[in-house]
Amino acid sequence: MSYNHPLIAREGWPYLAGIGAVTLLVQSLGGFIFAWPFWLIFLFVLQFFRDPPRLVPLAENAVLAPADGRIVVVEKTADPYADRQALKISIFMNVFNVHSNRIAVNGRIKKIQYFEGKFVNADLDKASTENERNAIVLEANGHDITLVQVAGLIARRILCYVRVGDQVKKGERYGFIRFGSRVDVYLPLTAEPLVTVGDRVSATSTILATLPNLDG
């Protein structure tokens, strides 16, 4: 699989450059005994912005995880972005997860909606409706698939790189959320979930659900 992105996400380069410069300055002035806390911070930020390539499963009709993390919701509820009832699967990302967001299905971007909001803990259900968030609705072989990036308690910046009308493929990188967050996935009610609350998932590698006739 071709993944045309650096192993350390570009979104983190300014942070790493700044922290790295301060760390080297402290070490040059006071030695490692004073610099080691700064090295720990540097290593933490380095791991946060890692962005490894992932293999796309070959299974047909598969809806892939758009993010790394832990499943916190699997339920039938309203999808306010596509105006329908849907199967909702939510993934909570802590600060140790990869925060690059990836496309779950092959399709076309049908709608994008951004909402300003609060920054409550993304592990809570109310984060889906109260927090800053960015929703994209994809049309995939006649099915609407909604992916919602939700800011968390610490996250203050949602980045989305796709536009309405873009054709996208499974596993493609479409966004990033800095420092702890959540992604909500809304699927047609005919989808069959393959995960349960508490499961750990990996973006692209994990199949969240199957959806009949998704791939034609």
pLDDT in tens, 138-196: 999 999 999 999 987 665 578 899 999 999 999 999 998 876 688 999 999 999 999 99
Question: For residue 3, what pLDDT is reported?
Answer: 56
Q: Say which residues have a Cβ less than 8 Å from residue 83's Cβ, sequence separation at least 6.
A: none
In order of 8, 106, 164, 186, the CA distances from 60 in angstroms are 31, 11, 25, 19
Look up the CATH number of domain 62-210: 2.70.70.10
Percent of the chain surpassing pLDDT 90: 62
DSSP SS3 for 209: strand
Question: For residue 166, what pLDDT is reported?
Answer: 96
What is the rounded CA–CA span in Å between residue 146 and residue 142? 13
- Name the residues annotated as catalytic: 181
> H or E stretch including 41?
helix 32-48
Selected residue with higher pLDDT from 119 and 211: 211
Structure tokens at 138: 């994809």
Query: Is a pLDDT exceeding 80 seen at residue 91?
Result: yes
What is the rounded CA–CA span in Å between residue 57 and residue 121? 32
Please check whether residue 78 is in contact with residue 148, taking contact to mean a CB–CB distance below 8 angstroms: no
Structure tokens at 124: 């809570």
- At residue 106 the predicted structure's pLDDT band, cuts being 50, 70 and 90, is very high
Question: For residue 130, what pLDDT is reported?
Answer: 72
Selected residue with higher pLDDT from 128 and 36: 36
Of 155, 53, 138, nearest to 103 by C-alpha is 138
Q: For the chain, what are the domain ranges? A: 10-48, 62-210
Taking residues 61-82, report their average pLDDT: 96
* pTM score of the predicted model: 0.86
Tens of pLDDT along 128-150?
Answer: 777 888 999 999 999 999 999 99
Question: For residue 154, what pLDDT is reported?
Answer: 62
